[in-house]
Amino acid sequence: MINLTFPDGAVRQVQPGLSGAKLAASISKSLEKKAVALMKDGVLVDLADPITQDAKVRIITRDDAEALELIRHDAAHVLAEAVQELYPGTQVTIGPVIENGFYYDFFRNEPFTPEDFPAIEKKMREIIGRDKPFSKRIVSREAAKEFFKSRGELFKVELVDAIPEGQEIKFYDQGGWIDLCRGPHMTSTGKIGSAFKLMKVAGAYWRGDAKNQMLTRIYGTAWANDKDLQAYLTALEEAEKRDHRRLGREMDLFHFQEEGPGVVFWHAKGWTLFQALIAYMRRRLRADYQEVNAPQVLDKVLWETSGHWGWYRENMFKVQTAGDETEDQRVFALKPMNCPGHIQIFKHGLKSYRDLPIRLAEFGAVHRYEPSGALHGLMRVRGFTQDDAHVFCTEEQMAEECLKINELILSVYADFGFTEFVVKLATRPEKRVGTDAMWDHAEDVLTRVLDRISRESGGRIKTGVNPGEGTFYGPKFEYTLRDAIGREWQCGTTQVDFNLPDRFGAYYIDADGQKKMPVMVHRAICGSMERFLGILIENFAGHFPLWLAPVQAVVTTIVSDADGYAEKVARELRRAGLRVETDLRNEKINYKVREHSVAKVPVILVAGKREMEEGTLNVRRLGSQAQQSLKLEEVVRLLSEEATPPDVQREKAA
């Protein structure tokens, strides 16, 4: 006999080999019907699997949260069956569960289009309606390969070969249609229900490798019920409304055009935002950093020395004279990074150990030839501004510098309202420079720093490791923040580098009078200012806190008699440092309120006859219909206080 422990702590003795299905049946008739899988020691397994030893068990019904991934996984199988039924000759490959849904990759000479969806969905519903049971059987490697080979499923043959020796090969049969799968599945296709929808088609490389064939991927979403499906579709629409490309146009922040793929035309309002962000960062750097500026165009030898010319040449802009007659054939590069420039500044003149650490910061405009398919609004561009810095320090100072940077990064994020972060250590990649000993050392230092960050945050900051994701010259920390709608963005990085100082021959004079190589720490907080602004636009859905809003308030009139008063109000607010516009157009107040609300101006100050006579303003805040009548002086005081950036407020309070 074996002991099964139930979620309520109850223990039951049963015969070994009892299946989850039988177990459910022994509890109640209704549970037998509702059960779709078994949770055994924290792992989902098929209901038909025998339980052979003591375990903690829980019967999973379709309504349990754990069943959702099964619904999606089963839906992927049904999608594959539907496609093969409708389009014979299509080869199936893989079909995993992903966040919010599933996909299946197919190989077919003619790719699918969304126009095929109605037919496929209809067929899926038909298969689900048949409600055939999922049944599993273990097969031998040879039998599995033979089976797929005979059906012309060459991708599946490759998949069988990829299964590690000693691992079982399982076939799942769903009413005659069979797929290779590690499972688990629910009891029958009918359990999938009807709350699913095919979403999009996309190309995807076989096994994620660009050297392989392109497959057609069909994405779908699936939920336990229609209400959840509908909620998901609504959330997608909401996310679309805060798309920074859309808000950028609606709020007149920036634009892109054909002649400049991947480079931003910043309009006045967008540039105001940009400048507000840079001004904030400058204040945060004032105490510890020296701001510098290195050239845009430098001879390619510098990039050869750094290694960029070797590793990233395809992604660099080459710059040469455009003249046809010129003899000067010298090749320059538009800088893709700031580090070589900063090293030149460090190397200029002798540095003493007493000078260290030297922290050079730059809002450096860099250009990278990103693949055309990678471009995406402000999030991925070919010309952008990094809030970059390089700290030149001694070995002993390195860990302390990393911690100091960590504090700065986290406090910057907090000032923008981001409170959830993950810090990951990215370790040595295959493509790299420097000796293994150097890498061992650098990774060792960062691992210890990461432990300390985690420990000192009291577990508030999550940490992790990204193996092989480091840069070619050193390991790094990747700072990821979570936005208002739960999306994660990797922004900041801290990189420890023993390689570039060596390659460029940078040194300082140590206490013993000897030349010594400094360690270099690269760091960025926002990463790309353009991208960070894109993230901010989406995070706030364009509804910026007052200190960032490009137009902080609009003063508008109800009657033209109040025009003079409105001008005076605007002057006073501007004198207090606020970004204010007036709207004296001969339009109804409804019209003007609507227009400025749509433009997401945080504060509308209405001046009518009454306000003019009383020296007041009627204040209306974005997102609220409430009105508040306040004295002009009061408005100036309240708004300038609210528009004070968080760091300045902190300084004042201190």
Active site residues: 339, 368, 386, 388, 390, 476, 522
| Cis amide linkage into residue 550, ω under 30° from 0 | no
Does 282 participate in binding RNA (rule CB under 7 A)?
Answer: no
Closest distance between RNA and the C-beta of residue 562, in Å?
A: 8
94 vs 578, which CB is nearer to RNA?
94
Q: Restricting to residues 84-143, which ones interact with RNA according to CB under 7 A? A: 111, 113
By CB under 7 A, name the one of 187, 618, 636, 643 that touches RNA.
Answer: 618
In sequence order, the 6+-apart residues with CB closer than 8 A to the CB of 557 are 563, 565, 566, 583, 584, 606, 607, 608
Total of chain residues touching RNA, rule CB under 7 A: 68
From the list 551, 558, 565, the residue with the least C-alpha distance to 622 is 551
- Which of these ranges, 59-67, 269-277, 574-582, 617-625, lies near RNA under the rule CB under 7 A? 617-625
CA separation for the pair 438, 631 (Å, rounded): 66
| 315 part of the interface to RNA, by CB under 7 A | yes
Q: Which is nearer to RNA, 106 or 280 (CB)?
A: 106
Task: Give least dist CB 380 to RNA, A.
Answer: 6
Q: Quick one: how far is CA 335 from the chain centroid?
A: 25
CA 247 and chain centroid, separation: 19
253 scored as a contact of RNA (CB under 7 A): no
Q: How far apart are CA 407 and CA 504, in angstroms?
A: 30
Note whether 201 binds RNA by CB under 7 A: yes
Site string for RNA, 325-354 (x = CB under 7 A): -----------xx-----------------
Instruction: Using CB under 7 A, pick the residue from 576, 622, 630, 638 that binds RNA.
Output: 622
If one asks whether residue 237 binds RNA (CB under 7 A), the answer comes out as: no
Among 8, 99, 209, 324, binds RNA (CB under 7 A): 209
- Which range, of 322-330, 351-359, 453-461, 553-561, touches RNA by CB under 7 A? 553-561
Least distance between RNA and beta carbon 600 (Å): 8
Binders in 557-576 for RNA, by CB under 7 A? 558-561
**CB 154 to RNA: min, Å:** 19
Q: Could you say whether residue 594 binds RNA (CB under 7 A)?
A: yes
Query: How far is it, in rounded angstroms, from Cα 609 to Cα 648?
Result: 37
Measured from the CB atom, is 102 or 472 closer to RNA? 472
Cβ neighbours for 30, distance < 8 A, ≥ 6 positions apart? none
Residue 365 sits in the site that holds RNA (CB under 7 A)? no
Query: Which three-class secondary structure state does DSSP give residue 583?
Result: strand
Hey, which residues does 365 pair with through a beta bridge?
385
Which one among 168, 182, 623, 641 touches RNA, defined by CB under 7 A?
A: 623
Binding to RNA (CB under 7 A) within 61-80 occurs at none
- Among 50, 89, 261, 505, the residue binding RNA under the rule CB under 7 A is 261
CA 376 to chain centre: 13
Closest CA to 198 of 227, 217, 219: 219
Smallest separation, CB 207 to RNA (Å): 9
- Comparing CB distances to RNA, the nearer of 170 and 424 is 424
DSSP 208: G
Which CB atom, from 345 or from 509, has the smaller least distance to RNA?
Answer: 345
Cis peptide before 184 (omega within 30 of 0): yes
**Sequence letter at residue 634:** E
The single residue among 145, 359, 428, 620 that binds RNA, judged by CB under 7 A, is 620
What gap in Å lies between CA 193 and CA 129, rounded to an integer?
Answer: 9
Given 140, 150, 167, 590, the residue binding RNA (CB under 7 A): 590
- Cα 503 to Cα 295, 345, 410, 506, 553: the distances in Å are 20, 15, 32, 8, 53
Name which of 167 and 590 has its Cβ closer to RNA: 590
Distance (Å, rounded) from C-alpha 170 to C-alpha 180?
6
In the complex, least distance from residue 209 CB atom to RNA, rounded to whole angstroms = 7
Write out the two tokens for 242. Answer: 């805060």
Q: Between vectors from CA 556 to CA 544 and to CA 534, what angle results, nearest 5°?
A: 20
* C-alpha to C-alpha distance for 47 and 29, rounded to whole angstroms: 15
Residue 316 neighbours by CB under 8 Å, 6+ apart = 303, 308, 309, 333, 334, 336, 368, 369
Q: How far is the CB of 630 from RNA (least distance, A)?
A: 11
With CB under 7 A as the contact rule, which of the stretches 52-60, 142-150, 212-220, 452-460 interacts with RNA?
212-220
First to last CA, the chain: 69
Among 44-52, 197-205, 273-281, 544-552, the segment contacting RNA (CB under 7 A): 197-205
What is the CB-side half-sphere exposure of residue 9 using CA atoms within 13 A?
0
The 3-state DSSP class for residue 160 equals: helix
Stretch touching RNA by CB under 7 A, among 20-28, 141-149, 366-374, 433-441: 366-374
**From 312, 363, 498, 565, residue interacting with RNA (rule: CB under 7 A):** 312
Quick check: 291 binds RNA (CB under 7 A)? no
- The smaller minimum CB distance to RNA, of residues 93 and 618, is found at 618
Please report how close the Cβ of residue 107 comes to RNA at its closest, in angstroms: 11
Stretch that binds RNA, among 78-86, 397-405, 567-575, 582-590 (CB under 7 A): 582-590
The verdict on 467 binding RNA (CB under 7 A) reads no
Residue 258 CB, shortest distance to RNA, in Å, is 4
When the beta carbons of 167 and 586 are compared against RNA, the nearer one is 586
CA distance 37 to 44: 7
Q: Identify whether 357 is preceded by a cis peptide bond (ω within 30 of 0).
A: yes
Nearer of residues 211 and 348 to RNA, judged by Cβ? 211
Tally the C-alpha atoms within 13 A of residue 510's C-alpha that lie toward its C-beta: 12
The alpha-helical segments, DSSP class H, found in 436-587 are 436-456, 499-503, 529-540, 563-575
Contacts with RNA in 481-540 (CB under 7 A)?
495
Strands 616-621 and 383-393: unpaired
**In the complex, minimum distance from the CB of residue 564 to RNA, in angstroms, rounded to a whole number:** 13
Contact 222/230 with Cβ under 8 angstroms?
no
The dihedrals phi and psi of 402, each to the nearest 5 degrees, come to -60, -40
User: Coil, strand or helix: which one is 48?
Assistant: coil
Residue from the set 53, 321, 514, 627 that interacts with RNA by CB under 7 A = 627
Contact between residue 169 and residue 160 where contact means Cβ atoms under 8 Å apart: yes
Stretch that binds RNA, among 186-194, 270-278, 370-378, 403-411 (CB under 7 A): 370-378
372 near RNA (CB under 7 A): yes
Distance of CA 115 to the CA centre of its chain: 30
Under the binding rule (CB under 7 A), the answer on residue 301 touching RNA is: no
**Interaction of residue 248 with RNA, rule CB under 7 A:** no
Alpha carbons 557 and 154: distance in angstroms, whole number: 73
What is the contact surface with RNA in residues (CB under 7 A)?
Answer: 111, 113, 200-205, 208-210, 214, 216-217, 243, 245, 249, 256, 258, 261-262, 308, 312, 315-316, 336-337, 368-377, 380, 471-473, 495, 558-561, 586-591, 593-594, 597-598, 604, 606, 608-611, 618, 620, 622-623, 625, 627
